[in-house]
Chain A
């Protein structure tokens, strides 16, 4: 099999409208279309399943048939470039955002973004989260200049839609019911140990956590969050920083770190 033959086989696999490649045979005659279709079908179904297992709430929202059509369209434009399928579909949300038939569901791309973040968190490196007592041990006058190391699994997502509520209702985490307050929700996604957790963030929380995760000091992050939202609640957000396991170590200004 030359490289050229393999290229033709690969191209025909990916294009359902193209004829069965030449040079193939079966014991009972030439043009084994149905036999070739087995491979074509395996490729399509396998990738559809890979996406469905990473985006189950998205699939639940639109239904299996709609999701399959959306996944097939995605696969044509963004075939996997690596055999490590657990990371496939990283940019699926951006595709969903531009997928014309799903345009009415303006919140759908953010649900997919949340699921992508959950998938990354699931497979992220394992690091033991910061012990709350460690932060309590820092002298109050040094606290503002303290920086924290983010957990490899943590990420923050902002949405103009109630993305956490919608996701929870379609992931079996909350009873489905009409959403009366259609407000934006920001989320912290983190896997402190073996379970991926999604926290709904209060006003300014996304700015606070994002700024901290980028290496800013607690003082800088607090100022940025307060500037972003007047209702930023420092005590509640500090409590979340410690309870969620979103950070793993402290660096106090004296150069000491832990």
Chain B
């Protein structure tokens, strides 16, 4: 099975509005990541741009619609589309979410939470297995940003992810912003979460911004909005992670209120500087 093998550098989530700026010169980024579903048309500018990027940079394809956490079977048509896309671009990595987004025949267009039980664990592992078999490659599974909990949950999220990875051989995508968002929303310590997280399985890290609101009782509720720079506490957690893991491919995600390219590039350069520091510390 083809393992995920992104360069251990900082990358950026590609936005078509940045294509012209990116295409002017070689950019100081290790890879680009795209959402798979935006490249499921037959042709046109999306594929022209992606082909061009692919020629010069490492590529991560990140799915947002496979609904791996659904109790119902995976959508075989969608799996076939992902297989075709991965065949066409041969990305260094393919990743998806520990979440569901379709029910019955309706696509709900959000990454929805699931309870962590023996039953859901078995289902998710089956689905991850099916994806890896269909794509002929290892996939990475991402930890979610969640806003609520399920009374029926019996397994810690970190243990759930570790067990899925153990059963299927998948890698993990650690979204540090999601860790901070979910920990705040559930009044947990993000450092304790990371201490339990199976870091040895992590092949990619996501960093992004979030926004703040309040819940039914006035307590802070963070929203995984991807519309701001990475916030300081997330950078701080990131540093503790790469101190332990050494350099890991790290993506800056910025999907809403997208800034000009230089702003995004500067975020990637900030991550790259931390990665280099982590590398030299380990070498020392």
A-side residues, CB < 8 A to B, are 1-3, 5-7, 9-10, 13-14, 23-29, 31-36, 38-39, 42-43, 46-47, 50, 79-87, 121-126, 152-153, 191, 194
Are the CB atoms of A85 and B151 closer together than 8 Å?
A: no
B71 touches which one: A1, A42, A123 (CB < 8 A)?
Answer: A1
Nearest A residue to B71 by beta-carbon distance?
A3
| B221 pairs with A38, CB closer than 8 A | yes
Please name all residues of chain A whose beta carbon is closer than 8 Å to the beta carbon of B221 when the two chains form the complex: 34-35, 38
A88 to chain B: closest residue by CB: B107
Q: What are 26 A-B contacts with C-beta separation under 8 Å?
A: A1-B114, A1-B120, A7-B103, A9-B112, A10-B108, A13-B112, A23-B151, A24-B151, A25-B150, A28-B219, A32-B215, A34-B216, A39-B110, A39-B112, A46-B110, A47-B109, A80-B109, A81-B105, A82-B77, A83-B65, A83-B102, A86-B37, A86-B38, A86-B40, A122-B45, A126-B48
For the complex formed, measure the closest distance between the CB of A33 and the CB atoms of chain B, giving whole angstroms. Answer: 6
B-side contacts of A84, CB under 8 Å: 37, 40, 65, 78, 81
**Option from A32, A43, A46, A82 in Cβ contact (under 8 Å) with B78:** A82
CB-defined contacts of B152 to chain A, threshold 8 Å: 1, 5, 23
CB-defined contacts of A28 to chain B, threshold 8 Å: 187, 215, 217, 219
Chain B residues whose C-beta falls within 8 Å of the C-beta of A32 in the assembled complex: 147-148, 215-216
> Which of B40, B102, B117, B147 sits near A38, CB closer than 8 Å?
B147
**Cβ contact within 8 Å between A123 and B216:** no
Interface 0/1 of B57-78, CB less than 8 Å to A:
0000000111100111001011
Interface string of B203-233 (1 = CB under 8 A from A): 0000000000111110101010000000000
Bound-complex Cα distance A3 to B109 (A): 18
Given contacts A1-B115, A84-B81, contact A26 B215 (CB under 8 A): yes
Of the candidates B65, B71, B100, B216, the one having the most CB atoms from chain A within 10 angstroms of its own CB is B216
| Docked CA distance A81–B109 (Å) | 10
Q: Which B-chain residue is minimally distant from A46 (CB atoms)?
A: B109
- List residues of chain B with CB under 8 Å of any chain A CB: 37-38, 40-48, 64-67, 70-72, 75, 77-78, 81, 100-110, 112-115, 117, 119-120, 147-152, 185-187, 213-217, 219, 221, 223
CB distance from A17 to the nearest CB of B (A): 17
CA distance A47 to B106 in the complex (A): 12
**Given A38-B221, A124-B44, A43-B110 contact (CB < 8 Å):** yes
Query: Which residues of A have CB within 8 Å of B110?
Result: 13, 39, 42-43, 46
Chain B residue nearest to A13 (CB atoms) is: B108
Closest to B78 in A: A83
Contact A27 B216 (CB under 8 A): no
Contact A25 B71 (CB under 8 A): no
CA A3 to CA B70, docked complex, whole Å: 8
Chain A contacts for B47, CB-based, 8 A: 126
Q: Is the CB of B64 within 8 A of A126?
A: no
By beta carbon, the residue of chain A nearest B214 is A34
| Chain A residues within 8 Å of B48, by CB | 126, 194
Say how far B70's CB is from chain A's closest CB, in angstroms.
7
Contact A86 B41 (CB under 8 A): yes
Q: Are B117 and A1 in contact (CB under 8 A)?
A: yes
Contact B151 A81 (CB under 8 A): no
Known: A24-B150, A50-B109, A126-B43. A6 touches B217 (CB 8 A): no
Contact B102 A26 (CB under 8 A): no
- Give the CA-CA distance A120 to B88 in the complex, in Å: 21
When distances are taken between beta carbons in the complex, the residues of chain A under 8 Å from B64 are 83
Query: Whose C-beta in chain B lies nearest to the C-beta of A9?
Result: B112
CB distance from B103 to the nearest CB of A (A): 4
Chain A residues whose C-beta falls within 8 Å of the C-beta of B38 in the assembled complex: 86
Q: A1-B114, A7-B103, A43-B110 are in contact. List 6 more A-B contacts (CB 8 A).
A: A24-B151, A25-B149, A29-B216, A35-B221, A87-B41, A124-B44
Find chain B residues with CB under 8 A from A24 CB: 148-151
Q: Output the nearest chain B residue to A2 by Cβ-Cβ distance.
A: B71
Q: Complex Cα distance A192/B247, Å?
A: 45
A3 and B72 in contact (CB under 8 A), knowing A26-B216, A33-B216, A38-B223? Answer: yes
Alpha-carbon separation in the docked complex, A81 to B75 (Å): 11
Query: For residue B123, which residue of chain A has the nearest CB?
Result: A1
Q: Which residues of B contact A3 (CB under 8 A)?
A: 71-72
Q: Find the A residue at minimum CB distance from B112.
A: A39
Contact A35 B81 (CB under 8 A): no
Q: Smallest CB-CB separation from B47: which chain A residue?
A: A126
Given A25-B148, A83-B78, also A122-B216 (CB < 8 A): no
Contact of A123 among B41, B113, B186, B219 (CB under 8 A): B41
